[in-house]
Amino acid sequence: MKIVLLGGPGAGKGTQAAKLKNHFGIPHVSTGEILREARSSGTELGKKAAEYMDAGKLLPDEIILGIVDERLGMPDMSKGFLFDGFPRTIPQAEGLDKLLHDRDSSLDAVVSIDVPDEMVVDRLLKRAEIEGRADDNRETIKERLRVYYAQTEPLKSYYTGHGILKSIHGVGAVDEIFERIITVLR
């Protein structure tokens, strides 16, 4: 199973991704996690990532596609995978299609988790208290939402055009939402 999880900041992608990873036994690849790890190890990538992340901006597509290309080359990816937080722009989606095509592969489904903005802000501010993520403050959240609508939401039409978009209502209990996802993937 080769899946992409789509959704705005705080839509619950990470939570559902962890459950899907166990359910299907496939690697969960979160570009946000990879960048946060690079950041805490203080690498060049991490330093660069910090500037963009703390401003609520996206990293350049080439950097992200480079990370994904490298990850796709690892042996555990052959049986399937779940991307979370990637692709986030049309060029990233086109880049992913090409990287997969070069490997005689393609996506099976793109699941969009849809949650109203007002719920997202509360969720993220709560997460800020618990996890202390540097990019979870009111200003950055507003910017991440703006960036989501400008750059990432157009991916829904892109994948609808490819006939693989599945939209999920993202309000409810974690397990309910998980069931909705499993149902559309059947």
Residue nearest to ligand ADP (CB): 32
Going from the C-alpha of 72 to that of each of 23, 32, 50, the distances in angstroms are 20, 16, 24
Residue 186 C-beta: closest distance to ligand ADP, Å: 26
Q: Which two tokens stand for residue 8?
A: 């705005």
Read off the tokens for 6. Answer: 């789509």
Q: Does 35 bind ligand ADP (CB under 6 A)?
A: yes
111 DSSP β-pair partners = 5, 166
Instruction: Output the smallest distance, CB 100 to ligand ADP, in A.
Output: 16
Does 145 contact ligand ADP by CB under 6 A?
no
Beta strands in 75-174 (DSSP E): 81-84, 109-114, 165-169
Q: Which of 2, 71, 144, 166 binds ligand ADP (CB under 6 A)?
A: 144
88 forms part of the interface with ligand ADP (CB under 6 A): yes
- Find out whether 29 and 36 touch, Cβ atoms under 8 Å: no
SS (H, E, C) 42-82: CCHHHHHHHHHHHCCCCCCHHHHHHHHHHHHCCHHHCCCEE
146 included as an active-site residue: no
Q: For the window 5-34, what string marks contact with ligand ADP as x by the rule CB under 6 A?
A: ----xx--------------------xx--
39 annotated active-site: no
The residues carrying an active-site annotation are 13, 88, 127, 133, 144
Residues that bind ligand ADP (CB under 6 A): 9-10, 31-32, 35, 52-53, 56-59, 64, 85-86, 88, 92, 135, 144
